[in-house]
Amino acid sequence: MLTDRLFARSARSAGSSADSSPSRWHHGPWWSNSYLLTPLLSILVFLVVMSLILWSLNRREQQQQEDTLYRNVAWAQQQIRLSMTGAQEQLQALSRDLVSGRADPHSFQVSTADIMQGHPEILYMNWYTSAQQPRWPNNALPGLGQRLAKPNDQQMDEAVKAAFAEARNTRRQVYSPLMYDDVGNGYITLQTPVYRDRDFLGTIAAVFSIEGILKRDIPPELSAKYKISIIDVNNRELATTSTRPRLPRDAYYDLPLDPPGQGVSVRVYAYPQMTNFTNNTLVWLVAGLSCFVLWSLWSLWKHTRQRFEAQQALYAEAFFRRAMENSVLIGMRVLDMHGRITHVNPAFCRMTGWDESDLVGKNAPFPYWPRDSYPEMQRQLDMTLRGKAPSSGFELRVRRKDGSLFHARLYVSPLIDSSGRQTGWMSSMTDITEPKRAREELAAAHERFTTVLESLDAAVSVLAADEAELLFANRYYRHLFGIRPDGHLELAGGGSFDSSAASSDSIDMVDAFAGLPAAALTESTADAQEVYVQGIQKWFEVRRQYIQWVDGHLAQMQIATDITTRKQAQELARQQDEKLQFTSRLMTMGEMASSLAHELNQPLAAINNYCSGTVALVKSGRTTPDNLLPVLEKTAQQAVRAGMIIKRIREFVKRSEPKRQATRVADIVADAVGLAEIEARKRRIRIVTDMRSRLPVIYVDPVLIEQVLVNLLKNAAEAMHDARPDAVDPVIRVVVRLDSGFVCISVVDQGPGVDEATAERLFEPFYSTKSDGMGMGLNICRSIIESHRGRLWVVNNVESDGHITGATFHCSLPIGEPDGPSNGGSEAPTPQTVTGEL
């Protein structure tokens, strides 16, 4: 209940007021004590007033008691005085009687007996003469001294004597001072002077017992109420009505008994009163009640304190929950069992834009339902109320107050109260617009990615490393190989990765990650490999890489790009190259045709001469076989020479597939020089060959290398002739040497050399400085040499004075079998700058 109120209160005072409230509660517990202060104060006032009343009552009572005591003391005093005065008067009368009447012992005895009867306190009476002698001896007055205890005679004498003297002098009755007997009883003697006119006849002495006075003269009602004592000047108790020892707190009152007493006082003690008991009871009652009230107040305070603390804790808890609810980003909504909204948190309001008042108490359709999806929302609500809401929640669209929509996910759970009873349904709502957008974007990106992958003209496939299972294959792969892993294996080169290879060492190592860092594996990129797949007659450039598949396992990804067309183009280019080379050779031959014809003409003319001579000799009949034989041998030699020339030409220009074979460098050089010489000789240029006798075998196409050398020699001869046609003994040197795994053939001419501009463009196709030049020669030469993994370059021959004496074309070729171990991977030596700069 309290919590409800708290929540209601908190809900009302949301925002800034909600912030200020806790501090009020936390820092202001003054009220909890102040409301206790009032009863405490009233109790104190009550106590004070009660104490005052009791005190004044007590005081009054004491006053009354004192008054009563005083009155009673006065009364007792008066009684004693009266009695004493009575005795005095009787003694006075007796003295007068004695003077006027007969003075015999009998009558005196009768009179004294009368008086003593009336005053039992008088213990002894006698008539003393003026000489202080008893008028009659004791025996003459029997019984007079019997009632006297044992007065100290001497003491008595002194006291009596003093009183006697005073009475005689003053002619008045005089009391003697107090006398004591052995046990401490007090006595007083009254001396009554007896005068006949002027004659002093003595005194009548009467001894009063103090105790007797007390017993005789105090009325019994007084002695019943009070303890009455007679005390002397030394505060000694001479007689008392009660033997009860005096209590220290008993109140008493003294009144002097002068003149008879001579320092004797009457003291009255008040017995403790009944009223005191009532008073005390009242005091105790009040005190007890006050204590009870104080205890009640204390327990009330304690209870309130506990309650206050509990309340504080509750407030703290409530505000904590409130703060939590306010700061939480998830919208929360509570429905009762009938589907009515009973609570929404601020996040829900923020999300939807609807105020709490717009939502709380509303039944379906709720304001945030989009109008076009009422049936769907109603269906979801019905499911919720039936307890059939899916645990994964509902995905729904929510209409904000401004009409905009957003996507949300709503989770529903039953709301159970403290007694374990379900009171409604708690729903939590999260705005999933952003995640949904991200997901959609992701999906779109995935789709784009898939589309790209799918529409790729390359077969992309991923194969599990440990088992030959195809994990992914794009459309092109599926188009070529279906969904079988065979295609992947075939592209992998058959043996390098197949299902059996999965158990081979390499894959085992990869699969088990046995010492192989998978990360490093996945990072390593394999070189592209060209693979021809027989089944579908296609060329592929295959790149493969080990990757970590989504499930963490190692997989091999393979991207096979179809390069069949490229391959075909390459083949075409190669064929065209061949054709070009062939054409180039034909052209070279064409250019050399006249020289060749002239060269052929010589042996043929010689053969003709020899044959004509032989015919003439045979016709003359002067011939003998011995004469004919040398001529015929020479003829045959010339025919062989012509045949050699024709063979060289034929071999040079024959069209054949490029074929590498083990060839001796000397043969190539000799053939090339042999052909080039024919042309050079026409220009009177010598070709000098400089090579070691033992040269290694190289694996080249001899016709092509010969073509290169012929071309270089022809260019050298042309350059030399063009530059210095009148040169004396021009020489072209062909130098062959070995250079770290390469055979370097250099053609050194004595031409003009190559200037810088020409050197840059020398090997470009169709670059020529000659009017009839095609400019294809050096370009073809370089492509031939490079296809043999060699290099072709030019440097100028420079004299020490900087004078250029010609150009040298270097051509280096690797020794050993192509891709063989001797030169595998090695490059042609870098051209050394032996001569000036180019």
- Which of 109, 768, 787, 826 contacts ligand ADP by CB under 6 A? 768
If the CB atoms of residues 260 and 753 are measured against ligand ADP, the closer one turns out to be 753
- At residue 168, what are phi and psi to the nearest 5 degrees? -60, -40
- Which of 777, 790, 814, 816 contacts ligand ADP by CB under 6 A? 777
If the CB atoms of residues 264 and 792 are measured against ligand ADP, the closer one turns out to be 792
Q: Does the protein bind ligand ADP through residue 715 (CB under 6 A)?
A: yes
Using CA atoms, how far apart are residues 589 and 596, in angstroms rounded to an integer? Answer: 8
- At residue 526, what are phi and psi to the nearest 5 degrees? -80, 155
Please, what's the b/e burial string for 363-396 (b: 16 or more CB within 10 A of its CB; e: otherwise)? ebebebbeeebeeebeebbeebbeeebeeebbeb
Neighbour-count burial of 554, counting CB atoms closer than 10 A to its CB (0-12 exposed, 13-18 middle, 19+ buried): buried
- The minimum distance between CB 597 and ligand ADP, in angstroms, equals 21
If the CB atoms of residues 277 and 766 are measured against ligand ADP, the closer one turns out to be 766
Among the residue ranges 159-167, 566-574, 669-677, 775-783, the one whose residues contact ligand ADP (CB under 6 A):
775-783
Using CA atoms, how far apart are residues 506 and 514, in angstroms rounded to an integer? Answer: 10
Among the residue ranges 33-41, 117-125, 206-214, 771-779, the one whose residues contact ligand ADP (CB under 6 A):
771-779
- The minimum distance between CB 807 and ligand ADP, in angstroms, equals 4
Nearest to 459 by CA among 343, 562, 309: 562
- Which of 432, 489, 596, 762 contacts ligand ADP by CB under 6 A? 762
Q: CA angle at residue 556 from 457 to 524, to 5 degrees?
A: 95
Please name every residue paired with 811 in a beta bridge, in sequence order, or none if there are none. Answer: 745, 792
Checking 103-107 for CB contacts under 8 A at 24+ apart, the result is 103/135, 105/136, 105/140, 105/141
- Which of 769, 799, 818, 832 contacts ligand ADP by CB under 6 A? 769
If the CB atoms of residues 259 and 590 are measured against ligand ADP, the closer one turns out to be 590
Among the residue ranges 102-110, 425-433, 624-632, 711-719, the one whose residues contact ligand ADP (CB under 6 A):
711-719
Q: Does the protein bind ligand ADP through residue 590 (CB under 6 A)?
A: no
Among the residue ranges 332-340, 419-427, 697-705, 766-774, the one whose residues contact ligand ADP (CB under 6 A):
766-774
How many CA atoms lie less than 13 Å away from 598 in the CB half-sphere?
11
Report helix, strand or coil for 44. helix
Q: Does the protein bind ligand ADP through residue 240 (CB under 6 A)?
A: no
- At residue 427, what are phi and psi to the nearest 5 degrees? -120, 140
- The H or E element containing residue 349 is helix 346-352
| Contact predicate 187/123, CB 8 Å | yes
- At residue 560, what are phi and psi to the nearest 5 degrees? -110, 110
Centre a 10 Å sphere on the Cβ of residue 448 and count the other Cβ atoms it contains.
10
- Which of 381, 560, 719, 785 contacts ligand ADP by CB under 6 A? 719
List CB contacts of 450: < 8 A, sequence separation 6 or more: none
Length of the chain: 838
- The minimum distance between CB 592 and ligand ADP, in angstroms, equals 13
If the CB atoms of residues 466 and 577 are measured against ligand ADP, the closer one turns out to be 577
- The minimum distance between CB 663 and ligand ADP, in angstroms, equals 23
- Which of 749, 750, 785, 791 contacts ligand ADP by CB under 6 A? 749
- Which of 754, 813, 828, 838 contacts ligand ADP by CB under 6 A? 754
If the CB atoms of residues 704 and 778 are measured against ligand ADP, the closer one turns out to be 778
- Which of 137, 256, 773, 818 contacts ligand ADP by CB under 6 A? 773
- The minimum distance between CB 719 and ligand ADP, in angstroms, equals 3
| Dihedral sign, Cα of residue 497, residue 503, residue 506, residue 507 | positive
Among the residue ranges 74-82, 149-157, 493-501, 763-771, the one whose residues contact ligand ADP (CB under 6 A):
763-771
Among the residue ranges 421-429, 544-552, 697-705, 748-756, the one whose residues contact ligand ADP (CB under 6 A):
748-756
- The minimum distance between CB 716 and ligand ADP, in angstroms, equals 4
If the CB atoms of residues 207 and 592 are measured against ligand ADP, the closer one turns out to be 592
- Which of 770, 786, 827, 834 contacts ligand ADP by CB under 6 A? 770
Report helix, strand or coil for 4. helix
- The minimum distance between CB 477 and ligand ADP, in angstroms, equals 47
Using CA atoms, how far apart are residues 482 and 499, in angstroms rounded to an integer? Answer: 17
Using CA atoms, how far apart are residues 459 and 475, in angstroms rounded to an integer? Answer: 8
Centre a 10 Å sphere on the Cβ of residue 173 and count the other Cβ atoms it contains.
23
Q: Does the protein bind ligand ADP through residue 774 (CB under 6 A)?
A: yes
| Dihedral sign, Cα of residue 170, residue 171, residue 175, residue 177 | positive
| Contact predicate 399/354, CB 8 Å | no
If the CB atoms of residues 533 and 781 are measured against ligand ADP, the closer one turns out to be 781
Task: Mark residues 789-818: x for contact with ligand ADP by CB under 6 A, - for none.
Answer: ------------------x-----------
If the CB atoms of residues 188 and 716 are measured against ligand ADP, the closer one turns out to be 716
- The H or E element containing residue 796 is strand 791-798
Please name every residue paired with 529 in a beta bridge, in sequence order, or none if there are none. Answer: 542
Nearest to 130 by CA among 195, 174, 189, 177: 195
Nearest to 262 by CA among 382, 84, 67: 84
Using CA atoms, how far apart are residues 14 and 9, in angstroms rounded to an integer? Answer: 9
Q: Does the protein bind ligand ADP through residue 511 (CB under 6 A)?
A: no
Size of the site for ligand ADP (CB under 6 A): 19
- The minimum distance between CB 724 and ligand ADP, in angstroms, equals 12
- The minimum distance between CB 584 and ligand ADP, in angstroms, equals 9
Nearest to 762 by CA among 735, 786, 780: 780
If the CB atoms of residues 410 and 747 are measured against ligand ADP, the closer one turns out to be 747
Q: Does the protein bind ligand ADP through residue 17 (CB under 6 A)?
A: no
Q: Does the protein bind ligand ADP through residue 778 (CB under 6 A)?
A: yes
- The minimum distance between CB 672 and ligand ADP, in angstroms, equals 15
Among the residue ranges 120-128, 434-442, 651-659, 750-758, the one whose residues contact ligand ADP (CB under 6 A):
750-758
If the CB atoms of residues 197 and 772 are measured against ligand ADP, the closer one turns out to be 772
Q: Does the protein bind ligand ADP through residue 603 (CB under 6 A)?
A: no
- The minimum distance between CB 754 and ligand ADP, in angstroms, equals 5
If the CB atoms of residues 26 and 770 are measured against ligand ADP, the closer one turns out to be 770
Q: What is the DSSP letter of 151?
A: B
| Contact predicate 345/326, CB 8 Å | yes
- The minimum distance between CB 692 and ligand ADP, in angstroms, equals 24
Q: What is the DSSP letter of 400?
A: -
Centre a 10 Å sphere on the Cβ of residue 129 and count the other Cβ atoms it contains.
14
Using CA atoms, how far apart are residues 304 and 29, in angstroms rounded to an integer? Answer: 11
Both tokens of residue 21?
């409230």
Among the residue ranges 50-58, 439-447, 663-671, 762-770, the one whose residues contact ligand ADP (CB under 6 A):
762-770
If the CB atoms of residues 309 and 760 are measured against ligand ADP, the closer one turns out to be 760
By the criterion CB under 6 A, which residues form the site for ligand ADP? 715-716, 719, 749, 751-752, 754, 758, 762, 767-770, 773-775, 777-778, 807
